[in-house]
């Protein structure tokens, strides 16, 4: 199943900078691992914001929830999830 996930990140000011740097490094490693597995199909930065638009390809809602809630930056994210279906006019 395909999902469009919009993620906005809001890390509180004053949070320990070493802790934030580790969270970001862990987030990057997790995102790259999920991309290599084929589950995180697309990852696009939203220009001018600490945000991204991503496409996930997972088995079901529960798997998506487990992936998203397991992201290191999850406690600082607001997400919007939209299930996707093939469009009849799409080529390929």
In the predicted structure, residue 92 carries a pLDDT above the cut 80: no
Rounded to two decimals, the pTM is 0.92
Which two three-digit tokens encode residue 45?
A: 């930065």
State the chain's mean pLDDT as an integer.
97
Count each helix (H run) and each strand (E run) in the chain, helices first: 2, 4
Q: Regarding the domain with residue range 2-84, which homologous superfamily does it belong to in the CATH classification?
A: Dimeric alpha+beta barrel (3.30.70.1060)
- Are residues 50 and 7 in contact, defined by beta-carbon separation less than 8 angstroms? no
Domains of the chain: which residue ranges? 2-84
**What is the pLDDT, as a whole number, of residue 19?**
97
């Amino acid at each position: 199943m395909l999902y469009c996930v919009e993620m906005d990140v809001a890390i509180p000011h004053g949070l320990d900078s070493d802790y934030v740097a580790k969270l970001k490094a862990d987030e990057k490693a997790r995102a790259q691992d999920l991309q290599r597995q084929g589950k995180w199909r697309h990852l696009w930065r939203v220009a001018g914001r600490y945000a991204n638009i991503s496409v996930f390809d997972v088995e079901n809602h529960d798997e998506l929830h487990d992936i998203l809630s397991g992201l290191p930056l999850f406690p600082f994210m607001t997400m919007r999830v939209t299930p996707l279906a093939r469009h009849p006019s799409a080529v390929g």
